[in-house]
Structure 1
């Protein structure tokens, strides 16, 4: 097989990156350059913002946020039913942590694969609100909720092959949520320190003794952002849906939290405005 070449424009772009990259997804997830000074032992050379404790949005990021929020707004406005909730962070959020990085001990949060922007996936929002709704109105019983036509009408139903029940599409439509362009938020590094690494790595075969060396694990968080949550519907809804949604969303962000490490206080937020 002959030698393969990258397109000229791609090669020029990669050579010109140096120690900077605007797209945080590529910088943390995909692209890793090597320090070629030491030929015997090549070391990954991270981007300059990797070594910092935080990353503030650039002007290009802010412009992208404006564009994405405008796009979400245009789509949402086509819905016959639409609710908008502005949520501000009251603690750090760790959305989707667990992704691997070429830089080793770093867990990545959910970043948009094209734009490198942090965002709340629609599936995460629906899962959080659905769980809170079941806890609040059905005493935490999933089976009771799925037997209620009103609940199935809102959130849908996944096929139950045992009982022969077919999947149904819910009326509520959840949208991806991006930070507001005017937010003064930032991506920050936090640390998890498992004190008994051999105990965890070997699934309890080794006891959690004090002679094991803790290995800090860094993970990314969102801090001080403001998000616009958009929830629409393509079908008619019961009259009390708006009030229930507002109560559930308030409880979901203030008590449950979104993302990971919610038991440690992460993922909390506060509704600062609600519009139709």
Structure 2
């Protein structure tokens, strides 16, 4: 028997919305209303997870994209240089797996519109990883970061970042990055929904859970775990904003910062990927599709 653990009045509204075939909010479905099975220690049901993937509200997607466009216009009026473009996912994306949920794996969903997006913090992080990987090739990760913090062009984009042990944190506020990484919002997708159900299937759970106390062997049972991912082919709209920035007595123009940050971000999206499970090919995007200048 599948049940939804909700207050009675909320349950009545939920059941009515299901009967009316309303386009339900994917975030509420996944994080609040997903069905569980009382006979299986209240584990989520496959039907509950698949319900999230049935359809998405195109009006909400248009509203979210319009809000992003308004933000870009507002930044331009404030004197920022802004660049926007689109990229299509070549592989599935799993951003937000660490978010707590009944399914054991979460996903990043816009709280208002119920659609997937890529937070600017993720985009800034992978851009910095890409820059460190390809611009500072020699040394350990710690040595690369220390060298990068002395590079005014790196600091002009990302800022000096958090102080490492032994570093003097004085004047870190004066070394703030000059580029704003906007959230990447949904532009279009294939089929009724940008979501689909994916699966990971660890075969040696006992071996990993007790730190090797049980040897891996063929007689151990696999443990299939289903989770939500964003479909390959889904298109996101990306954006960067910047102002002229003075770092260590060197002035960096906003256009120069935008071009450098975009090179690093597009490179990261095409090679490193965004979100989780990137080591096995998730979150890889294709070439940038430039937006027409207004």
Q: TM-score, normalised by structure 2?
A: 0.76
Secondary structure, counterpart of 1:77 in structure 2: helix
| 1:121 counterpart = 2:119 | yes
Could you say which residue in structure 2 is the equivalent of 1:3?
none
Cα drift, residue 138 of structure 1: 2.1
Does the CA-based 8 Å contact 2:86-2:237 persist in structure 1? yes
Q: Using a 3 Å threshold, how does the CA distance of structure 1 residues 82 and 266 change in structure 2: closer, same or farther?
A: same
Q: Which runs of 5+ in 2 are unaligned?
A: 1-6, 246-251
Residue of structure 2 aligned with 1:111, choices 109, 118, 140: 109
| 1:133 counterpart = 2:131 | yes
User: Aligned equivalents of 1:62 and 1:68: distance in 2?
Assistant: 10
Q: How does 1:1-276 map to 2 (within 5 A)?
A: 13-14=13-14, 16-18=16-18, 22-32=24-34, 50-51=49-50, 54-78=53-77, 79-102=79-102, 104=103, 107-139=105-137, 141-160=144-163, 162-166=166-170, 167-168=172-173, 169-180=176-187, 182-184=188-190, 186-223=194-231, 224-236=233-245, 237-238=252-253, 240-275=256-291
Does the CA-based 8 Å contact 2:91-2:284 persist in structure 1? yes
Q: TM-score, normalised by structure 1?
A: 0.81
Cα drift, residue 45 of structure 1: 8.0
Greater shift in the superposed pair: 134-143 or 239-248: 239-248
Does the CA-based 8 Å contact 1:76-1:230 persist in structure 2? no
User: Aligned equivalents of 2:47 and 2:60: distance in 1?
Assistant: 17
Secondary structure, counterpart of 1:111 in structure 2: coil
Greater shift in the superposed pair: 257-266 or 149-158: 149-158
User: Aligned equivalents of 2:161 and 2:208: distance in 1?
Assistant: 34
> Once the two structures are superposed, what CA deviation does each residue of 1:210-265 show, in whole Å capped at 9, x if it has no partner?
22100111121111211111111133434644443343233212211111111211
Does the CA-based 8 Å contact 1:93-1:268 persist in structure 2? yes
User: Aligned equivalents of 2:197 and 2:166: distance in 1?
Assistant: 45
Q: Which runs of 5+ in 1 are unaligned?
A: 1-5
User: Aligned equivalents of 2:194 and 2:158: distance in 1?
Assistant: 33
Cα drift, residue 271 of structure 1: 2.6
Does the CA-based 8 Å contact 2:124-2:181 persist in structure 1? yes
For these two proteins, the number of residue pairs brought into alignment is 264
User: Aligned equivalents of 1:76 and 1:63: distance in 2?
Assistant: 20
User: Aligned equivalents of 1:11 and 1:53: distance in 2?
Assistant: 17
Cα drift, residue 30 of structure 1: 1.9
Does the CA-based 8 Å contact 1:95-1:109 persist in structure 2? yes
Does the CA-based 8 Å contact 2:273-2:283 persist in structure 1? yes
Cα drift, residue 207 of structure 1: 1.6
